[in-house]
Homo-oligomer: A and B are copies of this chain.
Amino acid sequence: MAKKQKTFRPKPRLPKGMRDIRANEISAMNNMLAKLKEIYELYGFEALETPAFEYSDCLGKFLPDQDRPNAGVFSFEEDEDGDWVSLRYDLTAPLARFVAANYDGLPKPFRRYQTGSVWRNEKPGPGRFRQFTQFDADSVGADSVAADAELAMLGADSLEHLGLKRGDYQITMNNRKILDGVLESAGINPSAEENELQRLTVLRAIDKLERLGQEGVQLLLGEGRKDESGDFTKGAGLEPKQIDQILAYLAASSDQRTDVLGNLESLVASSEIGQEGLKELRDIDDLLSAGGFKADRVRFDPTIVRGLDYYTGPVMEAELTFEHKNEDGQLVRFGSLGGGGRYDGLVARFKGTKVPATGFSIGVSRAYAALEALGKLEHEKLMSPVVVLVMDQENKGDYQAMVQNLRGAGVKSELYLGTSGMRAQLKYADKRAASLVVIQGEDERSEGKVTIKDMDAGAEMSKEIEDNKEWREARVAQKTVGNDELVATVKEMLEAREKALGNNEAG
């Protein structure tokens, strides 16, 4: 094998749609995740971690794109036994498996949160990766829509805790049962198996309202629609009168939750399931109002249906309403960064009996991009390192001792590990965004002294300086002290720096 390595040289490339994440982004990401964790725990959700892959039959196939039934996930044979496993494509399906396997031992309702990578075998694009992070909260075992209302509140509180201000986001809610009621009123039994595909096609058509506009949706509700490329998408095949009923439903939006409820009333008056859905939304409205959540934070919107097949009741979406420039430089609404809804059937896949459940998921990279666009990313406090230069390889032990003394005092510090001269070492310190460098040349050593230099103050100058002699002559923002004063002086200079920089070190 070693022989092969000598002749074959692989290209060091990332798999399609994958990326490396560097320290600066990791720090801001950690900060975000910590904030989300705070809110989720404040709401009483407990952490869970499930493995990266599951048996494929346990995950099921719940991704929206039904045209390619095997696409969407990464699957492989676990081992010689021939069992197939799939990398998780969301955190909901593994939760359903977990709950089904551990049902009796769990508190009911069971509130859990989970964050981690998920993988999608989809075509990557700009900002569209095949591995990304989700942050989910789910309540399992709660029939009451109080669980759904709570998730909407948690969503709104989470976004504000991340730094989004009121008005820049909205949680929008709806109830699948109301749409079913509209279908029923239009003469289509939504729970009949033979209408399943038609119902799903209607859902998907509505889900495209923002992208295609009313005209596009109208076509998709009817015979179908030809897109710009000439591809034809078959429609739901509804009659014109039925289409009008759906469009009337979609027009029921309003700024106030009670107005939406009023508008929907007559549309589902004759449908039991519709009435049930409306009653649930009313209960949610009461709970939201009791919790102090007005329509500027949580709205009702009949056009929110979510593309996933498995939702059975209330659905919700987290939307960012501010505008930002897209890749083509156009100002557009930032759009959705997560959502969820009630899925009373997922655990039943395993158990046979219905287990009510509802969840809400935030796309962490989307949230990151949003905060970046708003200039609201906050980094963990990252200390800049102190770099101890090696002026003399023979006495490396002395420099090592300085570094360990600094580290012992809690000062992030590094020994220069290369063998290059002073100029390269200063360049290295620059690249590391070092705060200070510590220098002890021959002269200093003979006097038992050490020089500490502020890197920002002398940054420009350092480019010109070739050796220690020039350096000492320049004497920019530096102090020379006795060896035993090194740690104390470094700490003083770091404090002074921090004051001068007004704590703007982050990032």
Given contacts A52-B117, A52-B119, A55-B13, contact A139 B18 (CB under 8 A): no
Within the complex, which residue of B85, B397, B417 is in contact with A290, where a contact is CB–CB below 8 Å? Answer: B397
Q: Show 20 residue pairs from A and B whose CB-CB distance is below 8 angstroms, ordered by the A residue.
A: A2-B309, A9-B349, A10-B60, A12-B97, A12-B350, A15-B85, A16-B79, A18-B51, A18-B53, A26-B47, A26-B49, A41-B383, A44-B385, A79-B121, A142-B418, A144-B418, A146-B396, A146-B400, A290-B396, A291-B404
Is A53 within 8 A of B432, CB to CB?
Answer: no
A493 to B343, CA, bound (A): 38
Is B79 within 8 A of A19, CB to CB?
Answer: no
Q: What 4 pairs across the A-B complex have the smallest Cβ distances?
A: A290-B397, A76-B76, A44-B414, A12-B100
Given contacts A51-B18, A144-B418, contact A412 B292 (CB under 8 A): no
A13 to B96, CA, bound (A): 11
Who on chain B is nearest to A146 by CB?
Answer: B417
Residues of A85-113 whose CB lies within 8 A of B: 85, 87, 96-98, 100-102, 107-109, 111
A400 contacts across to B, CB distance below 8 A: 146, 149, 287, 290-291
Q: Please, how many residues of chain A have a CB less than 8 angstroms from a CB on the other chain?
A: 113
Q: In the assembled complex, how far is the CB of residue A192 from the closest CB belonging to chain B, in whole angstroms? A: 12
> A229-261: contact bitstring with B at CB < 8 Å (1 yes, 0 no)?
000000000000000000000000000000000
Is A54 within 8 A of B85, CB to CB?
Answer: no
A351 contacts across to B, CB distance below 8 A: 12
Is A10 within 8 A of B74, CB to CB?
Answer: no
Question: Does A467 sit within 8 A of B, measured CB to CB?
Answer: no
Is A51 within 8 A of B349, CB to CB?
Answer: no
Q: In the assembled complex, how far is the CB of residue A203 from the closest CB belonging to chain B, in whole angstroms? A: 13
Is A144 within 8 A of B419, CB to CB?
Answer: yes
A345 contacts across to B, CB distance below 8 A: 5
Is B144 within 8 A of A101, CB to CB?
Answer: no
Q: In the assembled complex, how far is the CB of residue A111 from the closest CB belonging to chain B, in whole angstroms? A: 7
Is B51 within 8 A of A404, CB to CB?
Answer: no
Q: In the assembled complex, how far is the CB of residue A6 from the closest CB belonging to chain B, in whole angstroms? A: 9
Question: Does A196 sit within 8 A of B, measured CB to CB?
Answer: yes
Is B432 within 8 A of A291, CB to CB?
Answer: no
Majority secondary structure, A binding face: mixed
A149 contacts across to B, CB distance below 8 A: 400
Question: Does A171 sit within 8 A of B, measured CB to CB?
Answer: no
Is B48 within 8 A of A410, CB to CB?
Answer: no
Residues of A64-87 whose CB lies within 8 A of B: 66, 69, 74-76, 78-79, 83, 85, 87
Is B418 within 8 A of A109, CB to CB?
Answer: yes
Residues of A within 8 A of B (CB): 1-3, 5, 8-16, 18-23, 26-27, 41-44, 46-55, 57-58, 60-61, 66, 69, 74-76, 78-79, 83, 85, 87, 96-98, 100-102, 107-109, 111, 117, 119, 121, 131, 139, 141-144, 146-147, 149-150, 153, 157, 193, 196, 283, 286-287, 289-292, 309, 345, 349-352, 382-383, 385, 387, 396-398, 400-401, 403-404, 407, 410-415, 417-419, 428, 431-432
Who on chain B is nearest to A57 by CB?
Answer: B10
A109 contacts across to B, CB distance below 8 A: 417-418
A401 contacts across to B, CB distance below 8 A: 290-292
Is B404 within 8 A of A153, CB to CB?
Answer: yes
A292 contacts across to B, CB distance below 8 A: 401, 404
Who on chain B is nearest to A382 by CB?
Answer: B41
A399 to B347, CA, bound (A): 29
A55 to B410, CA, bound (A): 40
Is B196 within 8 A of A2, CB to CB?
Answer: yes
A23 contacts across to B, CB distance below 8 A: 46-48
Is A412 within 8 A of B51, CB to CB?
Answer: no
